[in-house]
Amino acid sequence: MNARAIWSLGDYHRFAKELLWEWGPILVDACGISPGQRVLDVATGTGNVAIRAAEAGAQVVALDITPESLAAGRREAEAVGVSVEWVEGDAQRLPFADGEFDVVTSSAGAIFAPDHQTVADELLRVCRPGGTIGMITFVDEGLGGALFELFGRYAPPPEPGAQPPILWGDESHVRELFGDRALLELTHRQYVEKLSREPSTPRDYIDFYKETFGPFIGIFASLADQPDRAAELDGELLDLATRWNSGTPDAAEYRYDYLLVVARKR
């Protein structure tokens, strides 16, 4: 199953609104997005950052590989009354001119493209000299690393040469990708995921992922002919969610570490 098909599974907009919607204001603030700037949000999903940038007065283009996410983002932008240009495209082949944008962002989106150097090169290419690139990337420590490790044991093998998304959370890797082409500010932060409904148990948290999040759904689909292995994965996920719950048994919450990358292009 290719990336476009995987991310079209489930209901990404429901997932993002419930658990990740706070990321938008974080990147808008970190990048200093302001009225009149031209902004590109790469692997936008349903517009978490893009819509917030438009609310800040910027002229925004939102790019994603998944038409279903773009359609959901368009509806969300219309609902809140902002204008965003929605473009289908790949983070490794951005369909824009050199230096076209003042700010380029990606919140845990472009990190899933297999060739990290190509992604970094493209983000830099379309950003103007003196402009800003802002990213939220998962790190290998804590719950995020444990979750990526677990899925690595059950997911189908990646395509040859593909690099794991979690590498984007390694400061040395990020510095190598951008080299001397940008001044980097790298900050370790944490955010909390919790479901809005009550009660909300670790089982509810895992089931929500299995209902809405494409990569979760895709991995379980790949195990459809291996029911014992699928049950094993489900059990490991529930154990992980129970162990990492920093809330209560009926009000579960999960703390994830991430790296905030702000790159000022030379």
Query: Using one digit for the tens of pLDDT, what is the confidence trace for 173-226?
Result: 999 999 999 999 999 999 999 999 999 999 999 999 999 999 999 999 999 999
For residue range 26-82, what is the model confidence (pLDDT) as tens digits? 999 999 999 999 999 999 999 999 999 999 999 999 999 999 999 999 999 999 999
Task: Flag whether 127 is in a domain.
Answer: yes
Residue 211 belongs to a domain: no
Pairing status of strand 101-107 against strand 182-193? unpaired
Please state at what angle helix 227-243 crosses helix 214-222, rounded to 10 degrees: 140
Is a pLDDT exceeding 80 seen at residue 127?
Answer: yes
Q: Is residue 215 part of a domain?
A: no
Is residue 197 a part of any domain in this protein?
Answer: no
Tell me the CATH number at 39.
Answer: 3.40.50.150
Determine the structural domain holding residue 183 and report its residue range.
Answer: 3-139+158-192+255-265
Confidence of residue 107 (pLDDT cuts 50, 70, 90): very high
> What size, in residues, is the chain?
266
| Rg (alpha carbons) of the chain, rounded to whole number | 18
Contact 104, 165 (CB under 8 A): no
- Residue 148 belongs to a domain: no
Q: What pLDDT score does 1 carry?
A: 77
Mean pLDDT of the chain: 97
Query: In the predicted model, what is the mean pLDDT of residues 240-244?
Result: 98
What is the tally of structural domains in the chain? 1
Q: What is the mean pLDDT of residues 251-266?
A: 98
| C-beta of residue 82 within 8 angstroms of C-beta of residue 55 | yes
Q: Which residue has the tokens 């790190």?
A: 139
Look at residue 31 and tell me if it is in a domain: yes
Q: Say if CB 229 and CB 154 are below 8 A apart.
A: yes
230 part of a folded domain: no
User: Does residue 71 lie in a domain region?
Assistant: yes
